[in-house]
Amino acid sequence: MPRPILATIDTEALAHNLRQVVQRLANDARGGPAPFVWAVMKARGYGHGLEAAVHGFAQADGLAMIDLDEAVRCRELGWTGPILLLEGFFQPADLAVLAQYRIATAIHCDEQLRMLAQGEVRAPLDAFVKLNSGMHRLGFQPDEYRAAFARAQALQAQGVLGTVGKMTHFARADDDPAVTRAQLDCFEQATQDLPGPVSVCNSAATLTPGFAAGVRVSEAQWVRPGICLYGASPFASQTAASFGLRPAMTLSAQLISAHTVPAGEAVGYGQTFRAPHAMRVGVVACGYADGYPRHAVSGTPISVAGVRTRLVGRVSMDMLAVDLDPVPQAGVGAEVVLWGQGGPSVDEVAASCGTIGYELLCAVAPRVPRREL
């Protein structure tokens, strides 16, 4: 029998979350054209798997990701719509692959423009020229942007590029509307009167009422929701459920031991937790080698046999311990939900660990079996 741990991927939840986003955008559009949706699939669909994500996002307008091999794999899985590489390409040899598989690219630096000018492209590539509006990660500076866009237009005239759009990325759309507004103002000033589609909204901006509807566009607008499509929230103060989103990944395991720990005795490495009284403790077949965070603290929420309880002690490589006092009937073989359907949300677990749901979903290890619903 295999080790009793499983990541269950619910493709209908992925499809449901996409529909929720599309409906919110349609409502915000107030009768005007709603933005198109890039379903962001970085890190193999935020740890959910490319196959599941392609199935779940079948109704998306396009897919966006980082890795060229993953983009090619999406084509092999049957995706025929637009694909965008959010970091663009990295070497001249990539251009032939982009053309062969009809993959669009971000352009964020002079080196990419030079590679395009010097390379041979069999078919025009669609592109988005990226502005650094304040994130200070990728993109052309505001005073450089129009010159960079003009170079892209020249490549467009030569047949190297097809559609040329404009994009940026927000640093604090999840918690500071003023910073986001300033970034959008910077973007709109730098791109004023430049043609082409626009893409600025991440999950947080997409879910903020009226934000996408307030972006000035002369052509199409594309939003880029990511984490919300997987049923987690980009906001610390708002749950995914409050947006009508459903968790697409459930990480579950089983108890492989249940025993009584005497009062005052410690549990696990480092003896970081001591039983305040004689208490039942269960051992779960999940540890940090499976992707559960080692820095999770005692008290992190967990569910055993449908009852909410807590982690106790330090997480080991292959095991962790839980308080069974709230669920005295639980014994070996009882189902444990680390996060997802029937247990705490991934955002709750992440908050308890001082991190974000993105990290936990992406960190589930390859050794954990996955089942697609």
Active site (catalytic) residues: 42, 269
CB 294 within 8 A of CB 252: no
CB 332 within 8 A of CB 339: no
The partner residues of 107 in beta bridges, in order of sequence, read 129
Strands (E), the chain: 5-9, 36-40, 62-65, 83-85, 104-107, 125-130, 161-167, 198-199, 222-223, 249-261, 266-267, 273-274, 279-284, 301-304, 307-312, 320-323, 335-339, 370-372
Q: Is the CA virtual torsion 58, 204, 45, 89 positive or negative?
A: positive
User: Which tokens in the block code for residue 352?
Assistant: 């308890």
CB 252 within 8 A of CB 293: no
